[in-house]
Structures are given as structure tokens and as C-alpha cells.
Amino acid sequence: MDIKPGSRWKSAVCDAQLVVVRPPKQAGELQCGGVAVLELADATAPGGDVHPDHAGGVMIGKRYTDAETGIEVLGAKAGRGSLSFDGRPLQLKDAKPLPASD
């Protein structure tokens, strides 16, 4: 799996679509719903079931990251499956706090 910045991916088991913002520092498998993601250009329609342990969902416009590998992805389309990298769940990235104006 060649994960490059700007590459677009889709879930194999739900409607989620992703854009890679920052690639991982090491090779691995990006997953959604417990199954490896597919390139967006792949004509395969989503099918099968989201694994119950990976059913947290993807939200549109939110960033997900893994501290260990540094991968960061952006949810481009919402879906039922949650994201993971090599089996480790990706965490929702917190928004940067705005500076206080006095």
C-alpha cells in the first residue's frame, strides 16, 4: 500500500472516503471498518460488514492521526467504519486553540 500525501482512499465496507494529509513514517496498512482501504479510483463497490470493534465511524472534515507512525488523514466523506493503521485505532485530532484576544 503506497500511502502518499494527497492520495485518496475509500472504505471497502462503508461509504467513508479519506485524503492522506501526512504519510506514515513506516509502511503499513490503512484500514476502515477493520478492512484495508481501496484507492478511490478502484471500481469495487463497498460491500460486506463493518467489524463491530471498528464501528466508531468517520466524520467528514475531521482529521485522524496515529502518534506512533505520524499518519494523518482527513475524512472526505462520512461512513460507519472507524479508521486504524496496522490494527491501531486512529485518534480524532484536536483543533488548535485560537489565541486569546484581550
The model's pLDDT over 46-64, given as tens digits with 9 standing for 90+, comes to 888 888 888 899 999 999 9
Whether 12 maps to a domain, the answer reads yes
Tell whether 31 is covered by a domain: yes
CB 28 within 8 A of CB 73: no
Assigned domain for 98 exists: no
Residues 6+ apart with CB under 8 A from 37: 9, 10, 11, 12, 18, 30, 31
- Using 50, 70 and 90 to split pLDDT, how confident is the model at 102? low
Residue at 1 is within a domain: no
DSSP H helix total and E strand total for the chain? 0, 10
List the domain range (segments joined by +) for residue 18: 8-90
User: Over the stretch 17-37, which tens digit does the pLDDT of each residue have?
Assistant: 999 999 999 999 999 999 999
User: Quick check: is 14 in a domain?
Assistant: yes
Assigned domain for 13 exists: yes
| CA–CA dist 8, 14 (Å, integer) | 15
CA distance 88 to 24: 13
| Domain count of the fold of the chain | 1
Q: Which cell goes with 89?
A: 485505532
Q: How far is CA 15 from CA 26, 73, 96, in A?
A: 27, 16, 28
Flag whether 3 is in a domain. no
